């Protein structure tokens, strides 16, 4: 039978065939070939022997969160606690683009936004660079009904820092998910890493992955790649005069032109420059 791995706990895997959940372990052959199973993997399994026989080819795989075969990444970020950061969200968006995975943004905790300006600013910036943004509150339920349809028939993964409300959000989508919810720590400026494992939860004919939060993400990209995948720049760079333009001091640069015309938001360009300074300087072979 063919099924999808939805969870893994110390060498035991839970497999969904779309209706039922089976428990199975990989056959010895996996260890020999050094093949490692991932949540999201489509596998051939033997339901009598409770063994996983084969991994089907993956359409994509991510290291962080560790998951395979997803259709979209939903980047979750809170307005406050932890404080919203354009830099972090743009980094996650770049990561999604680099992996050729569609992404959208979910902004949580609108109920504790001290002013509406930040919501207006976030809306404006991401609208300008063509990324869809959803605003929700897991406390008041604002925006929850509207967002549910984006999950239909897709495998989606939530991604974002600890404490932004990924698990809380899933409980709002379906209370039966019964996800454990952690606490925001003022001292740490983030949550306390409540969710420890990636798990796929069935919803709307597809799945939604709850994932552990993490703050540091190494993009491991060259400066050239950063420009190719950075949101807002990815559609402009081919118009630059120099094919290896990194959009800082070159002449006839489409990116700088868009910035000066107000088409490309300044905050996006500034984050790009900051990340460009941190990016790898060597060329990928």
Ligand X SMILES: Nc1nc2c(ncn2[C@@H]2O[C@H](COP(=O)(O)OP(=O)(O)OP(=O)(O)O)[C@@H](O)[C@H]2O)c(=O)[nH]1
Give CA angle at 127 (212, 260), nearest 5°: 115
Smallest distance, Å, CB 19 to ligand X? Answer: 28
H/E element, 46: strand 42-46
Is residue 93 within 8 Å of residue 75, measured between CB atoms?
yes
- Nearest distance from residue 15's CB to ligand X, in Å? 24
Let me know if 36 is exposed, middle or buried by CB neighbors in 10 A (0-12, 13-18, 19+): exposed
Phi and psi based region of residue 260 (left: phi greater than 0; alpha: psi -120 to 50; beta: remaining): alpha
Q: Which is nearer to Mg ion, 94 or 168 (CB)?
A: 168
Candidates 93, 129, 155, 253; binder of Zn ion (CB under 5 A) is: 253
Judged by CB under 5 A, the residue of 38, 105, 129, 245 near Zn ion is 245
Q: Considering CB distances under 5 to 8 angstroms, the limit depending on partner class, which of ligand X, Mg ion, Zn ion, none binds residue 121?
A: none
Regarding 247 and contact with Zn ion (CB under 5 A), the answer is yes
Partners of 47 in the beta sheet? none
CA distances from 238 to 103, 228, 233 (A): 22, 9, 9
Residues of this chain that interact with Mg ion (CB under 5 A) are 166-167, 194-195
Residues engaged in binding ligand X (CB under 6 A): 108-109, 111-112, 137-139, 162-168, 181-184, 191, 193-195, 212-213
**80 vs 234 by CB, closer to ligand X:** 80
Report the nearest approach of Zn ion to the CB of residue 255 (Å).
Answer: 4
User: Binding to Zn ion by residue 258, rule CB under 5 A?
Assistant: no
Q: Which residues of the chain form contacts with Zn ion (CB under 5 A)?
A: 240, 245, 247, 253, 255
């Amino acid at each position: 039978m063919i099924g999808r791995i939805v969870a893994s706990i110390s060498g035991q895997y839970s497999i969904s065939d779309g209706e039922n959940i089976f428990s199975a372990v990989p056959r010895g052959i996996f260890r020999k070939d050094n093949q490692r199973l991932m949540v999201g993997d489509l596998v051939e399994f033997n339901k009598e022997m409770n063994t996983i026989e084969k991994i089907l080819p993956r359409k994509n795989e991510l290291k962080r969160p560790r998951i395979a075969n997803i259709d979209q990444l939903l980047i979750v970020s809170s307005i406050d606690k932890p404080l919203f950061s354009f830099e972090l969200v743009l980094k996650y968006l770049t990561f999604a683009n680099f992996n050729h995975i569609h992404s959208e943004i979910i902004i949580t905790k609108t109920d504790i936004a001290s002013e509406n300006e930040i919501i207006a600013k976030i809306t404006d910036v991401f609208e300008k660079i063509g990324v869809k943004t959803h605003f929700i509150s897991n406390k008041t339920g604002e925006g929850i009904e509207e967002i549910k349809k984006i999950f239909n028939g897709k495998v989606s993964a939530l991604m974002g820092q600890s404490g932004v409300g990924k698990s809380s959000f899933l409980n709002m989508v379906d209370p039966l998910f019964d996800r454990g919810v952690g606490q925001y720590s003022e001292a740490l400026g983030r949550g306390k890493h409540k969710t420890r494992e990636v798990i796929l939860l069935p919803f709307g004919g597809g799945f939604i992955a709850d994932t552990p939060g993490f703050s540091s993400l190494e993009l491991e990209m060259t400066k050239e790649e950063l420009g190719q995948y950075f949101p807002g720049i990815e559609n402009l760079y081919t118009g630059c005069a120099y094919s290896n333009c990194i959009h800082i001091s070159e002449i006839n640069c489409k990116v700088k032109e868009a910035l000066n015309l107000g088409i490309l938001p300044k905050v996006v360009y500034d984050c790009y420059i900051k990340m460009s300074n941190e990016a790898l300087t060597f060329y990928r072979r």
